[in-house]
Structure 1
């Protein structure tokens, strides 16, 4: 039986970060990857000369270690400007601070509701937080509707622990100012986004891929933590000195032997969203915005971004592209692929972006794990599973290994710091 010092499960950004740390420690690490290419959520695909990432990726990393890696790759910079579409109207983001396109009567009603918003929250959940922040009218018209699309969940069942700087807190002066003029400042949590000149977002981590020892097509089917043996679907058996896993917590618990019932039950209560990616290639330049949010319920996607704006090398000359994201609760899609394609064509027409004659193709792919869903009480279930893995000496890292809202830079560092996790 082959013996490996450090065995890493998953060749996404966290697994690559773990392998980097092993090289710096002069320890041999081997990464097992179930897919036929490395990169995980940062991977991409090409259709007729159009390159699409697995969902929107733009870097705003500030950590020196991450910048040391990412900045090896030539990149473009973009201002963090985005827009919102609702019922035929385009707004600057965030919508509550950019109400100027609305009729005066509607603006007055929204601002009156904001002024009469709740002073306190009866229960600590996301819906009450939104109503407390923005007032009932703004909350119901915008973020509550968006939550059903993006999180595929009702806001009342979500906690507030994930919010941080991701949601702009409401301020009266900002709301009033944005009701009178469109010359409003950008309140996004970062001012600049970076993206590789060539090769898609994956190019940022290509040096790590090139330096790591990765075995593709190695789907793990069983883990014996007492014998320290991992078995793969192709029959490989490897004995490890240390195991680092970036697999989703609900997945790894099904691979372990002799998992306590309480741990299995806790893992079943951990839910993530999955993403349907609907990628569109256009025969001409029809795209205006880097990315935008969609509130309309009759459009299934919750947001879209333009790969051809992120880098012109993502599309053939004279062409442009968009990728729409539709979310489901759990690893299975709630949508039919043909329905998604038809709905995307409808959305393009409704939003005034392009006509049927502009479209070269519409492609659909499904990503089973997109974002961790912060159901109320999730952290308690997560702690039970993470504690069990720690007791087995398994370092569980990355977005789905830690089961947290981590961006690519944070996921890389999560993998990199696997020794400290133990």
Structure 2
């Protein structure tokens, strides 16, 4: 039976980061990837000459270890300008600081509600939103969006994931944005970087090139006692060190003799899945990098434009959009036809495109999108991670750590855990 020093399960950015660190330590590392090529969530696909990433990806990494890798690839720099669509209006992001397009009586009501915002009474996300923005702003915007993006009511979420992802409400910013559309950009980063060619995957191509990767190797059984992994092709391989970016619930499922309390804890961990509806247009119709959608009659919560990120993603004279629809759990809550119909409806409602402008629509489902931060999730997650850590198995990446990690953080998760 073959034996490998460092066996890495998963060829996404976390696994690639782990392989890099192992090489720097002079250790022999092999990545085993279930798919036909490495890349994970940072991979892309092509439809009729159009390139689409697996959901929206833009880099604002500042860590030297990450920039050392990413900066090997020529990139464009985009301003972090996002928009919000509600009914018939486009508002800049963050929406509470850009109420200018609304009617005067709407603005008065929203600001009055903000000034009367309640004290923070609970530790749930809905209470936090109401305390930050007041009831009317919270109900009209982030509470509605939460249900679409997290497929979970805001009251069921904790606040441990927020960090700098949500702009805190400031009275002077809100007032300023009601009188003028010329508001400053208050996004948590000022610029977004994207490769000039090859899609977001191009940023990690140097890591893929330098790593030893075996594709079409899906782990189906792990025996911690004998330090053996069995793959779907029937091959069994031993390891000295095992590193896994497999989602924690799945890792528990394929690991033999896991204690019942760990199995129970893993069963409490839930993530969203993503339906991607990618659209190719026969002309240049799209000018915005990405935008959020609040309307409940549109299934998608946000969309981004691959053609704005880089013209290399589309044939000359064309443009593209990709819409993201989230479901709770690994399976979609929607049928393909329902998703496509909703996107076509959205394009017309938002006055972006007409049916005759569309060259194609394409559907792809990703079983794992974002970790859902239910109350007490970290207790269950830590019970699972502590078990594997005690058994010498290192869990890395967004779904190995079971955390809200961006691509740069996922890279460091692998790189710093060898």
Name the TM-score, length of structure 1 as normaliser: 0.99
Aligned residue number for residue 102 of structure 1? 102
Aligned residue number for residue 321 of structure 1? 320
Q: Secondary structure at the match of 2:108?
A: helix
The correspondence of residues 126-205 of structure 1 with structure 2, limited to 5 A, is: 126-205=125-204
Output the CA distance in 2 between the equivalents of 1:243 and 1:396. Answer: 9
Q: Secondary structure at the match of 1:369?
A: coil
The correspondence of residues 8-407 of structure 1 with structure 2, limited to 5 A, is: 8-118=8-118, 120-407=119-406
Output the CA distance in 2 between the equivalents of 1:399 and 1:386. Answer: 13
Output the CA distance in 2 between the equivalents of 1:112 and 1:229. Answer: 63
* Deviation per residue, 1:32-83 (Å, 9 max, x gap): 1111111000000011110000000000000001000000000000000010
Output the CA distance in 2 between the equivalents of 1:340 and 1:332. Answer: 14
Output the CA distance in 1 between the equivalents of 2:48 and 2:336. Answer: 20
* Deviation per residue, 1:103-162 (Å, 9 max, x gap): 0000000000000001x2221100000000000000000000000000000000000000
Output the CA distance in 2 between the equivalents of 1:99 and 1:130. Answer: 17
Q: Secondary structure at the match of 2:368?
A: strand
Output the CA distance in 2 between the equivalents of 1:126 and 1:150. Answer: 14
Output the CA distance in 2 between the equivalents of 1:388 and 1:327. Answer: 30
CA RMSD of aligned residues (A): 0.5
Output the CA distance in 2 between the equivalents of 1:139 and 1:417. Answer: 38
Runs of 4+ displaced beyond 3 Å: none
1:382 offset after TM fit, Å?
0.5
Output the CA distance in 1 between the equivalents of 2:154 and 2:206. Answer: 40
1:288 offset after TM fit, Å?
1.8
Q: Secondary structure at the match of 1:168?
A: coil
Q: Secondary structure at the match of 1:128?
A: helix
Output the CA distance in 2 between the equivalents of 1:313 and 1:285. Answer: 13
Q: Secondary structure at the match of 2:148?
A: helix
Q: Any stretches of 5+ residues in structure 1 without a counterpart? A: none
1:259 offset after TM fit, Å?
0.7
1:173 offset after TM fit, Å?
0.4
Instruction: Tell me how many residue pairs correspond in the alignment.
Output: 418
Q: Any stretches of 5+ residues in structure 2 without a counterpart? A: none
Note if 1:415 corresponds to 2:401. Answer: no
Q: Secondary structure at the match of 1:105?
A: helix
* Deviation per residue, 1:180-237 (Å, 9 max, x gap): 0000001100000000000000000001001111111111110001100000010111
Q: Secondary structure at the match of 1:58?
A: coil
Q: Secondary structure at the match of 1:51?
A: strand
Output the CA distance in 1 between the equivalents of 2:47 and 2:70. Answer: 25
Output the CA distance in 1 between the equivalents of 2:161 and 2:380. Answer: 16
Q: Secondary structure at the match of 1:102?
A: coil
Output the CA distance in 1 between the equivalents of 2:287 and 2:67. Answer: 29
1:418 offset after TM fit, Å?
1.3
Output the CA distance in 1 between the equivalents of 2:80 and 2:203. Answer: 19
Q: Secondary structure at the match of 1:76?
A: strand
Output the CA distance in 2 between the equivalents of 1:336 and 1:84. Answer: 26
Q: Secondary structure at the match of 2:303?
A: strand
Output the CA distance in 2 between the equivalents of 1:133 and 1:331. Answer: 32
Output the CA distance in 1 between the equivalents of 2:37 and 2:87. Answer: 40
Aligned residue number for residue 6 of structure 1? 6
* Deviation per residue, 1:276-320 (Å, 9 max, x gap): 000000000110210000000000000000000000000000000
